[in-house]
Structure 1
């Protein structure tokens, strides 16, 4: 065999051995990233992370004597904005002395005491703030009577006005006050209108509300309750379905009612009663005396 033939014969087994060695060799391990891990984000950088907060403790006092207000308060905390837009409410409470946990910053504290209120601007730092709001306010309770007899609360309603420029009913503060309600108001003079029943038994009075005090006001009515009847004879059975009209002597309609014996509360004075029944009209004059409740009968004849 020539030299070239002997070299080829030796090369073939060597290649075969190399292929077997490669097949038996273990697969190489995956490459390992030796770069250090990224640094952890700060609390401020992490989305949704809770910012640091501080305690804002507030209370309210009457402006006159600095006595604490222990009930009837409603608090709103508004945050000031850097772009000059309107402040927004960030917290509320109805506690007398609430504690708010808020991020440090500038806030407007608003304390409402019924129809009165006080406002204060506060800068809240990381150490927290304990501050007071002063309110110039008092309270008013209302009642009604006829002589010495109190009128049941359910038969009374009140309107409270602020007089303006000689008009005693210049601005309505509340039109839904009931007897015995505690009405919290800014210090000042108010005009009160009391209505007994639902017709013309009305009384008016000016009352003064002082800071830190409760003013009890009783308005004295001169009125009575009358029961209207259409009868065939005095003291007889009342006709059902009768239509009644109560008028002043001048013809102004005060009250209208339908029934066998409707009850009407009227101010002291003179009246005309008209009764309509099955196409017939009957009338009589009558007088209301304060505190004397009675039947007013119209004879059907």
Structure 2
């Protein structure tokens, strides 16, 4: 019996685990963006057979019965009750090309088919699973699809003891490539979701979610085992910092940079705003603020302590 994810062969060739796809069903679809620069963008949640011709078999030839069910993982007490996009494809044989014989979106459909060899594809929450199926005549044949998946539920707090954030958080889901550490690559990104909270249904493996809010972000490495549910609260360890300076107005540019330079000797900018007295949400750490308004400029070092809101004054010259 062969069970494959639609792009597992490609993943193996690139040296990392079989892929996972985000469950975006918990948010407004307009807030979800497929990572178009991903090397897998054309395969995320899409049928490999969407462009095949459709052929409806004659009722007199459809003497075989195929029943399909699915589970989230081995040992699941209940079958999946959510919609699943099923596609039944007749294999190419004897000079006859592949064609789609049937489609259905119910969780447990029954198909009347001519006896023979088929490929059955089931897409659940954007996870694509394909299987070869030999359907005999006579007694109904049942196939159980196992999505080998776990579930991650995410929320965010600005600092310890604070209430969860209830406005839009940006959640970026990535493959975790072996040896990559915190060096996330754009072409490993699967989805960008904008919502206060988010839930991902993913096949077993290792992933990273980058959560961004108010100009600051935090990464969470997510090892997932099939059949398990995880709940994470991401703590930004942040505080609000308000800046002001004599002579600042609505055209004043404020740039916040890390105090410690990167490997290239340059300080990384983490946030910027224009205004007379802006407020930033910043993670705990050491920073420098640079200010420019007309011919006036200023720079000031400052520290941020989680949950300790502060005001920083900058002298312009």
Q: TM-score, normalised by structure 2?
A: 0.65
Where does residue 235 of structure 1 map in the other structure? none
Q: Tell me if 1:258 matches 2:277.
A: no
Give the superposition deviation at 1:49. 9.5
CA distances 1:129-158 after superposition (whole Å, capped 9, x unpaired)? 333222211111122222122442545323
Partner of 2:18: none
1:186 Cα deviation (Å)? 0.7
Distance across 2 between alignment mates of 1:153 and 1:90: 46
Of 159, 169, 172 in structure 1, the residue corresponding to residue 188 of structure 2 is 172
Contact 1:208 1:215 in 2 (8 A): no
- The correspondence of residues 189-208 of structure 1 with structure 2, limited to 5 A, is 189-198=206-215, 201-208=216-223
- Asked whether 1:246 is paired with 2:256, we answer yes
Higher RCO (C-alpha under 8 Å, 6+ residues apart): 2
Please say if residues 203 and 219 of structure 1, whose CA atoms lie closer than 8 Å, have aligned partners that are also in contact.
Answer: yes
| Residue aligned with 1:167, SS | coil
Q: Deviations over 1:98-145 (max 9, x none)?
A: 233444432111223335444332233454433322221111112222
In 2, Cα distance between the equivalents of 1:277 and 1:49? 74
The answer to whether the aligner puts 1:60 opposite 2:70 as a matched pair is yes
Q: Distance in 2 between matches of 1:205 and 1:49?
A: 50
Q: Cα distance, 1:92 vs. partner?
A: 3.1
What are the residue-to-residue correspondences of 1:9-88 with 2, within 5 Å?
A: 50-52=58-60, 53=62, 55-67=65-77, 68-71=79-82, 73-83=84-94, 87-88=98-99
Q: Please list every run of 5 or more consecutive structure 1 residues that lacks an aligned counterpart in the other structure.
A: 1-47, 233-237
Alignment-derived partner of residue 16 in structure 1: none
1:99 to 110, 127, 138: 110
How large is the RMSD of aligned CA atoms in angstroms?
Answer: 3.1
8 Å contact from structure 1 (residues 230, 242) kept in 2? no
Q: Are 2:123 and 1:112 aligned?
A: yes
Question: Using the alignment, how far apart are the partners of 1:148 and 1:125 within structure 2?
Answer: 61
**Which range moved further: 177-186 or 78-87?**
78-87
Change over 3 Å in CA distance of 1:180–1:101 after alignment to 2:
farther
CA contact (8 A) 1:115 1:186 kept: no
Counterparts of 1:259-274 in structure 2, within 5 Å, are: 259-274=275-290
| Richer in strand (by share) | 1
Matched, 1:223 2:238: yes
TM-score between both structures, scaled by the size of structure 1: 0.68
1:83–1:265 CA distance, 2 compared to 1 (3 A): farther
Q: Does 1:183 align with 2:194?
A: no
Give the secondary structure class of the aligned counterpart of 2:123: strand
Give how far 1:58 is off. Answer: 0.8
Q: Give structure 1 regions of 4+ aligned residues with deviation exceeding 6 angstroms.
A: none
1:142 corresponds to which residue?
A: 154
Cα displacement (A) at 1:59: 0.7
Q: Give distance in 1, aligned partners of 2:236 and 2:95.
A: 55
